[in-house]
Amino acid sequence: MNRPVSISIERRVIALLLAALFGMFAAVGCSALFAPSSPQSLLALLPLVVALLLSPRLARRLPIQFDGISNGRRLLSVLWLLLALTALARTAGLGVYMADPQRPQASTIWFDQFYVNHSCLSGYWKASELSKQGGVNIFEETPYDGHEGRFKLDAYLYPPQFLLLPRAIDAFGGGFLQLRAVWFALDAALVAGAMLALCGWIGGQAGRRAALLLPAAWLALPTLITLQTGNFQLPALALSVLAMLQFQRGRDLSGGALLSVAMIKIFPGILCVYLLFCRRWRALGWSVAWSLVYVGLGLALLGAAPFRDFIGYELPRIASGELWSWLALDGLEGVAAINDSVPGLVFKLRLLGLSGMDHHMVGGAAWVWSLLLVAIAVVAARRAQGASHQRQAAVWISLLGLAALRSPFVPDDYGLFPAIWLWCLLAGSVTVNAARVAGLAVLWLAFALVMPFSLATPEQLPLLLTVSTASQVLALGLWLWISLRPRDGAARDQAAQRRNTASTTATAPVMAKVRSDSYQ
């Protein structure tokens, strides 16, 4: 009889933290079944308890590369554990606010009334409700005047088929607050799962280090704030990366299904250009086919009216830049200053006194940037051929980050998330020395901080403009460097890939024995 193989303390700790994280997501989702602060609401914690009880089983399945990583690194291990626990505590606080909006002190930026009372999800929910009535243009602004509870209703800006998502969740019953809790649980689990899956695909030392740095990315304000507001930006990024992973595994049908959902947000369509010039015909074909399927489902369930309104009313306003003309209104200079969009630079130039900078210029700048994005994707696709998993993943995220800034208004909260995700991959792959650690710390600060809307006033304009533009330029520079890096790095990429492959191959027999022995 084989003796059970012991599980290292490192894997036990990591498994416990992961179980707690995903258990909290499930608990928030289950809270939609109970009234907040009621005695029955404690039952929502049951998924968390179950997840913690299952953590030993998860520990057995974690890669054995985590075994012994704390040896000789006691101080570093303690600091990492404090970082992970801090990220877990902040997530728990946010989860409390998502389960019970009457506890704003638990929100991500509790001192900023805009973020406390803002919900992008409110626009999705309201549009879904309006689409059931018929005879209402869901893209007009008037129906979105007012509030839902403490939350100011947000406008709806997406193609009609996106409403299939809130409709699917709403089918289980409940109102906006229930949708808010479930939406958060699904979004957070999807984003965390995608980040972990990407690290697993990268593999080797680079993947392990990137995974260990994920708490720093999760703790960053762009991550937590966007999960709190419910904007679809983060799920779109996560679905895009998961789709690319499926394509890499030859699962083109499922990858196309995932990417087509992400492309409802429009900007992930840049990956179709990437696939085209990588000659991934099946992946591209399934992505287009599934997009048509979702449009067909939208027509069947929502009717033709929302699609007519989108084509005849919304698209012309988007193309001309009229939809974003409010950014030039007096009193909103601070909002324009924290806009990380590339076309939004037009309004920043206007703040600096340059004349003629209006929404017409914004529309023109958006189309120019669109053409540049296609050219960047073509170069990136050619130069990433045969590169390491780490570089390919970095290129995907960089292209998504660049494409996301095509929209005329991209606030720094969700605009910087691709940069902080990319930071994990880069920090996990570099050789550590004092200068690089300092540089990585500066980059993390640039990408992890979000300017509170309470500072978005004309009096704080110089500060807002300086800080926001600095982080915007750093993110753009990083994404462009990753996307356009010359092919002379191909040899290093291939060598890194061989090292990762050798590491995985060497540990595969041990892993097989561990799993076999664990089930004796």
Domain assignment present for 511: no
Domain assignment present for 512: no
Q: What single-letter amino acid sits at 45?
A: L
Q: What single-letter amino acid sits at 71?
A: N
Taking a C-beta distance cutoff of 8 angstroms, is the pair 187, 227 a contact?
Answer: yes
Domain assignment present for 146: yes
Residue 423: which domain range?
9-505
Burial 474-499 (b: 16+ CB within 10 A, else e): bbbebbbebbebeeeebeebeebbee
Domain count, the chain: 1
152 DSSP β-pair partners: 118, 147
Q: What single-letter amino acid sits at 233?
A: Q
Sign of torsion, CA 338 342 343 346? positive
Element containing residue 147 per DSSP (H, E): strand 147-148
Task: Give the pLDDT confidence score for residue 510 in this predicted structure.
Answer: 37
Domain assignment present for 276: yes
Task: Give the pLDDT confidence score for residue 492 in this predicted structure.
Answer: 53
pTM greater than 0.85:
yes
Domain assignment present for 513: no
Q: Is 278 helix (H, G, I), strand (E, B) or coil?
A: coil
**Using the 8-state DSSP alphabet, how is residue 429 labeled?**
T
Helix 359-383 and helix 389-404: axis angle, to 10°?
170
Contacts of 50 (CB under 8 A, 6+ apart): 23
Domain assignment present for 199: yes
Domain assignment present for 510: no
The position carrying tokens 């101080």 is 75
Domain assignment present for 518: no
DSSP 3-state percent helix, strand, coil across the chain (nearest 5)? 75, 0, 25
Task: Give the pLDDT confidence score for residue 499 in this predicted structure.
Answer: 52
CA atoms of 398 and 27, how far apart (whole Å)? 33
Query: pLDDT truncated to tens, each residue of the chain (520 aa)?
Result: 445 568 899 999 999 999 999 999 999 999 988 877 777 777 888 999 999 999 999 999 998 889 989 888 899 999 999 999 999 999 999 999 999 999 999 999 999 898 999 999 999 999 999 999 878 999 998 999 889 989 999 999 999 999 999 988 877 778 899 999 999 999 999 999 999 999 999 999 999 999 999 999 999 999 999 999 999 999 999 999 999 999 999 999 999 999 999 999 999 999 999 999 999 999 999 999 999 999 999 999 999 999 999 999 999 988 887 888 787 777 778 888 888 999 989 888 888 887 777 777 888 888 999 999 999 999 999 999 889 999 999 999 999 999 999 998 999 889 999 999 999 999 988 887 888 989 999 999 999 998 887 777 777 788 888 888 999 999 999 999 999 998 755 445 555 555 555 544 444 443 333 333 332 3
Taking a C-beta distance cutoff of 8 angstroms, is the pair 136, 143 a contact?
Answer: yes
Select from 235, 201, 195, 188 the least CA-distant residue to 213.
Answer: 195
